[in-house]
Amino acid sequence: MNKTEKVQVAKVDTTSGEYEFHVLDGTLGPSVIDISSLYGDTGQFTYDPGFTSTASCESKITYIDGEKGILLYRGYPIDQLAEQSNFIETAYLLLNGELPSLNDYEEFERAITNHTMVHEQLRNFYYGFRSDAHPMAIMCGVVGALSAFYHDSTDINDPYQRMVAGRRLIAKMPTIAAMAFKFSLGQPFVYPDNELDYTANFLNMCFALPALKHKVSPTLARALDKIFILHADHEQNASTSTVRLASSSGANPFAAIAAGIACLWGPAHGGANEAALNMLMEIGTADKIPEFIKRAKDKNDPFRLMGFGHRVYKNYDPRAKVMQQTCHEVLAELGIKDDPLLEVALELEKIALNDDYFVEKQLYPNIDFYSGITLKAMGFPTTMFTALFALARTVGWVAQWNEMIEDPSQRIGRPRQLYTGYAERTYKKRSER
Ligand code: SDX
């Protein structure tokens, strides 16, 4: 961390006067005031519910400029990676910090391909679920159970074991997600096919049938690969912070990633893609949009426009732009001319972006607004949308997990609180109450 010479006096309202704290400058974005000594110096905590003004760590992986709508993976703009790279190469970049040479790329791709199968007994976990179990419930359970199968890669202090665990997780998530999808359909699981690349293999495991030779569309595989790139990492979002916090206790990587999956499932986070599509289906036709816009603005109505708004982006989410283009590509490839959901989404976006409420609160479409239409057109049910998000985000979680463990300044995460409960009081017998 570059401790600058500049020292900023932070005015802390305490009886013992003013205190000086170092200001740390990063490469891009806001500088930070290092307040790690605040409690020791003043006996006071900071208070920041939702961490709107708190940097939890130093990171070199992903940079977001919310005002300008910029997203960089290790310095590369997301639209350049989406257009020119692929998910496996982007995974290598996020994990290692540099784009791979041809040899490194081939070695990494081969390693991932050779880890795609899961232990045969893991299949039994699926049969313990009801057939209508939500795929994310299955993903939470099955990914957490991986630590019962891969003891040889759970020592987080061994860089080699961390590398093996990370590659296993990245390689097996498509297999685990596809198995959850097949289980929900009552169809047999499809084994990975090492002749196919990462994303084509996933589509094959989802849509191939014993009775039907399945040919994966290269256009759809490319489109989904782009979607995985868009979802791969996103700074210290809720699920990534969950993975970091779970790992800070020394928990094994499989358990930590399972915790991230659980957090991602929430409709305010990764579950928004499922909620956004369900909302578009509920709206149904463009003439119903004003009624939903009205509800979204009504403080007494818990309804929110799903797929809109973001804690960081106060401009258009750069991923949403690529997502919208990909949506058009997929619909064209599938020969879907006038998708009613896309019509509603485009009209809803147009109306919202010209409505004072959304303009004033800087609410723009986020990555989840168009992803659902695309994934539904590809044949995925809404319940699989967040599982696909988790599949892609596993790369970011693994990269951030490794960075945290290698950071000498990181310790177990243990926030404090503002206590407003009872002061000490004496227990009374039930007969005396
Ligand atoms: C993801 O963090 C990440 O990076 C996440 C993510 C990633 O890649 O990891 O980008 C993925 O989670 C994208 C976000 C997906 N979620 C949704 O689309 C759900 C709908 N969006 C909202 O729930 C909300 O915008 C959040 C949760 C995304 C952000 O919430 P914040 O930052 O806590 O903002 P807020 O709730 O304080 O909202 C600020 C104001 C409020 O009004 P006031 O109380 O100030 O009057 O804007 C309003 C909110 O009511 N508002 C909305 C709204 N989002 C915010 N009003 C209507 N519809 C919305 N969608």
Q: Which of 236, 227, 233, 240 is nearest to 73 (CA)?
A: 233
**pLDDT, tens digit, 9 for 90 and up, residues 142-179:** 999 999 999 899 999 999 999 999 999 999 999 999 99
Asked if residue 244 has its Cβ within 6 Å of ligand 1, the reply is no
Pocket test for ligand 1, best of 278, 299, 363, 369 (most atoms within 8 A of CB): 363
- List residues with catalytic annotation: 310, 368
pLDDT at 213: 80
Report CA(310)–ligand 1 centroid distance (Å). Answer: 5
Asked if residue 393 has its Cβ within 6 Å of ligand 1, the reply is no
pLDDT at 305: 94
What pLDDT band is residue 338 in, cutting at 50, 70 and 90?
A: confident
Pocket test for ligand 1, best of 228, 283, 301, 310 (most atoms within 8 A of CB): 310
For atom 34 of ligand 1, the residue with the nearest CA is 311
- What distances in angstroms separate CA 258 from CA 173, 252, 265, 387, 423, one per listed residue? 11, 10, 11, 12, 38
Asked if residue 269 has its Cβ within 6 Å of ligand 1, the reply is yes
**pLDDT, tens digit, 9 for 90 and up, residues 371-394:** 999 999 999 999 999 999 999 999
pLDDT at 278: 94
Spatial contact of 221 and 203, defined as CB atoms under 8 Å apart: yes
pLDDT at 1: 46
pLDDT at 323: 94
Six-digit token pair at 3? 């401790």
Spatial contact of 347 and 289, defined as CB atoms under 8 Å apart: yes
Six-digit token pair at 363? 């609410």
Mean pLDDT of 180-209: 97
Pocket test for ligand 1, best of 70, 263, 300, 311 (most atoms within 8 A of CB): 311
Asked if residue 368 has its Cβ within 6 Å of ligand 1, the reply is yes
**pLDDT, tens digit, 9 for 90 and up, residues 287-307:** 999 999 999 999 999 999 999
Asked if residue 359 has its Cβ within 6 Å of ligand 1, the reply is no
116 φ/ψ angles, rounded to the nearest 5 degrees: -75, -25
For atom 13 of ligand 1, the residue with the nearest CA is 269
pLDDT of 11 > 70? The answer is no
Task: Work out the mean pLDDT of the chain and round it to a whole number.
Answer: 94
- What distances in angstroms separate CA 424 from CA 45, 167, 324, one per listed residue? 21, 51, 57
pLDDT at 13: 63
Residue 396 CA from chain centroid, whole number: 8
What pLDDT band is residue 19 in, cutting at 50, 70 and 90?
A: confident
Report CA(389)–ligand 1 centroid distance (Å). Answer: 18
pLDDT at 214: 87
Identify the residue whose tokens are 């399972």.
258
What pLDDT band is residue 9 in, cutting at 50, 70 and 90?
A: low
